[in-house]
Structure 1
Amino acid sequence: MLTIAVTGATGAQGGATARALLAAGHRVRALTRNPGSPAADALRGLGADVRHADFDDPASLDAALAGADSLFAVTTPFGTDIATETRQGKALVDAAAAARLGHVVFTSAAHADRGTGVPHYESKYAIEQHLRAAGVPWTVIAPVAFMDNYASGWTLDGLRDGTFAWPMPTGCPLTLIPAADIGAFAALVLQRRDEFLGRRIDIASDELTPGAIAEALGVATGRPVAHQEVPLAYVRSRSEDLAAMFAYFATVGLDVDVAGLRRDYPEVGWHTFADWAAAQDWPALFDGASA
């Protein structure tokens, strides 16, 4: 049984990883800035040791990591900015090195090591480089686009009107993964440390075009859904970062060996997009979107 600290434990990737590790019988320290949140309470109910930790408070990181065997590390620029994500990610790596942890698994982004020019990929790659130089045993897992984003925000708003609005051509392939599969793969890596040390692995669960995604969403929601290509200029007017990401998706693309991952790591239980879409409570989501 390992004692594993999980950052972002109340978020999508960290939460999925914490749940997978708890289900496998490990001790999980769920690190969060808000130990009193409903998400933290839910993890506590599953058996997690919820601890306060703030990337900008080194003492809190030191206390949270003391005595742990391993760390699952996730960072985000959303809600702050790229510079903050990079600074906080490096601080977390430094704290892990100071605690002499036996393994750090950092979740980055697929292709972040390929000079994409996408700002929130570049920040993650800067943290990857810091991790490699820190002298702590490491693995980097790098997921593709999140299926979970299709059940929230402006995508969900469009689906209520029968439109899958997405800034890519209808026939352009896109690799996807749900948070649950990221968590399952991260848990696998943490439990099989020696097999994954020093490796960087892009991960994806399925590959579909926006047209096929719209069709699958139509089947899952029980209403007709058509893809509508959103102009990149529209995205750029709201976020240069996201516009750069979608431009990369549509030109270079996130090529990941989905079949190879399914063959080599079947225990992850990889979900197809249709699997994921069928599991969502669309009536409740639509009611929430219209509220």
Structure 2
Amino acid sequence: MSKIITVFGATGQQGGSVIRTILQDETLSKEFKIRGVSRDTSKPEAQVLLKQGVELVPADMNSKESLVKAIQGSHSVFLVTTPAWGFAGSDAELVHGKNVADVAKEAGVQHLIFSSLLDVTKESGGRLKHVPHFDQKAHVEQYIRSSGVPATFVLPGYFMNNYTSSGMLRKGDDDAYTLAYPVGKDAQFPLIDIAGDLGKFVAAALKNRSEVLGAQVFAAADYYTPTRILAEYEEVTGRKTRFVQVDIETYKSFMPRSMGEEMLENHLFIESPGYYKGQSLQESHALLEKAGFQTTTWKAYLERNKASL
């Protein structure tokens, strides 16, 4: 009889990647029955999952009662929490993460895989205090560790689709595409094809559970500098690019006021002390390769999405 894995954010980028990877994997597709959690099980993306044999359940992450129904009977759980963008002071991610951890413990879950990040406030020595979408995930990780639930922590890198679908590369009057950051050209960005690759790292953790309990897995293809990002973009697309380091106020003006400070400090953190504090990706890549997977490079991602760039 198949074990149940409950996947939160089933129709989102991360949960969707986990589900696709499990369904496509010969071993895991037989080992696990997938239960997807989505706020709206009627939307088209959810209907596609239903046709693929995924059980879908709604859940309110503020309600432990509704989470019990979603998690009950699960051997494994993949948890991703959603930032409360635009709501200053919200601790929604922390509340949601703690609620799932509590219910997972009560349900006897054997493997909780959490999409985590580092504590920016702590790791920057208090210099950067306004990146709650990192800090709250780190606090959830700490809570899960203290709860005693068997767990692994997968830390996604910087999304490749930030450059291709979020307007981060802006075309100028001279037809050159500008990348503007408040950091220097040598800053190290650990890039990941989030929709394509996050599931691979989670699948690798599922296949090697005993080895990764309590561990952090860094989900990224490689460290890329802004100049390397642009050089490979030029190579694939044939377009001209330029990198510009802008001052703090200019960078903040690029986005809504409610997000400016958070995204600024997010990028300052990437420059120093570093997204993963400069830690090597080698061990995480070895885990991936052992499970039969490979990461998608930035160049490969661009080639695959060339028609829509």
Do the structures match in fold with TM over 0.5? yes
- Matching of residues 211-226 of structure 1 within 5 Å: 211-226=227-242
For residue 281 of structure 2, what is the aligned residue in structure 1? 258
For residue 128 of structure 1, what is the aligned residue in structure 2? 141
Change (3 A) 1:233 1:88: same
Aligned partner (choices 77, 91, 94) of residue 83 of structure 2: 77
Does residue 166 of the first structure (1) align with residue 181 of the second (2)? yes
Letter in 1 for 2:187: C
Alpha-carbon deviations, 1:159-200, whole Å to 9, x = none?
985223333322322221121222111112123222211222
RMSD, matched Cα? 2.3
Change (3 A) 1:10 1:157: farther
**Any conservation in 2 of the 1:181–1:268 contact (CA below 8 Å)?**
no
Where 1:34 maps in the other structure, the secondary structure is: coil
For residue 37 of structure 1, what is the aligned residue in structure 2? 43
For residue 27 of structure 1, what is the aligned residue in structure 2? 33
Where 1:247 maps in the other structure, the secondary structure is: helix
Where 2:167 maps in the other structure, the secondary structure is: helix
Where 1:27 maps in the other structure, the secondary structure is: strand
The percentage of aligned residue pairs carrying the same residue is 30
- Bigger mean CA offset, 154-163 vs 173-182: 154-163
- Matching of residues 196-207 of structure 1 within 5 Å: 196-207=212-223
For residue 140 of structure 1, what is the aligned residue in structure 2? 153
* Matched residue count: 284
Does residue 193 of the first structure (1) align with residue 206 of the second (2)? no
Deviation at 1:269, TM superposition (A): 0.9
**Any conservation in 1 of the 2:118–2:135 contact (CA below 8 Å)?**
no
Aligned partner (choices 58, 75, 80) of residue 64 of structure 2: 58
Letter in 1 for 2:4: T
**Any conservation in 2 of the 1:174–1:209 contact (CA below 8 Å)?**
yes
Change (3 A) 1:112 1:184: farther
Alpha-carbon deviations, 1:195-229, whole Å to 9, x = none?
21122233321111101101212233332222233
Change (3 A) 1:58 1:67: same
Letter in 2 for 1:126: H
Deviation at 1:259, TM superposition (A): 3.6
Change (3 A) 1:264 1:57: closer
Deviation at 1:28, TM superposition (A): 0.9
CA separation in 2, counterparts of 1:70 and 1:208? 33
**Any conservation in 1 of the 2:37–2:58 contact (CA below 8 Å)?**
yes
For residue 284 of structure 1, what is the aligned residue in structure 2? 308
Letter in 1 for 2:8: T
For residue 3 of structure 2, what is the aligned residue in structure 1? 2
Deviation at 1:156, TM superposition (A): 4.9
- Matching of residues 64-103 of structure 1 within 5 Å: 64-79=70-85, 81=87, 82-103=90-111
**Any conservation in 2 of the 1:110–1:143 contact (CA below 8 Å)?**
no
CA separation in 2, counterparts of 1:56 and 1:70? 21
For residue 289 of structure 1, what is the aligned residue in structure 2? none
Change (3 A) 1:111 1:87: closer
- Bigger mean CA offset, 14-23 vs 43-52: 43-52
Deviation at 1:21, TM superposition (A): 1.4
Does residue 153 of the first structure (1) align with residue 161 of the second (2)? no
**Any conservation in 2 of the 1:29–1:49 contact (CA below 8 Å)?**
yes
Change (3 A) 1:87 1:187: same
**TM-score between the two structures when normalised by the length of structure 1:** 0.88
- Bigger mean CA offset, 245-254 vs 123-132: 245-254
**TM-score between the two structures when normalised by the length of structure 2:** 0.83
**Any conservation in 1 of the 2:93–2:136 contact (CA below 8 Å)?**
yes
Does residue 14 of the first structure (1) align with residue 40 of the second (2)? no
Change (3 A) 1:273 1:36: same
CA separation in 1, counterparts of 2:185 and 2:51? 43
Where 1:33 maps in the other structure, the secondary structure is: coil
- Bigger mean CA offset, 62-71 vs 41-50: 41-50
**Any conservation in 2 of the 1:33–1:52 contact (CA below 8 Å)?**
yes
Structure 1 gap segments, 5+ residues each? 286-291
CA separation in 1, counterparts of 2:170 and 2:307? 13
Alpha-carbon deviations, 1:80-139, whole Å to 9, x = none?
644111111111111211211111010112566953443222111111111112221111
Where 2:295 maps in the other structure, the secondary structure is: coil
**Any conservation in 2 of the 1:146–1:177 contact (CA below 8 Å)?**
yes
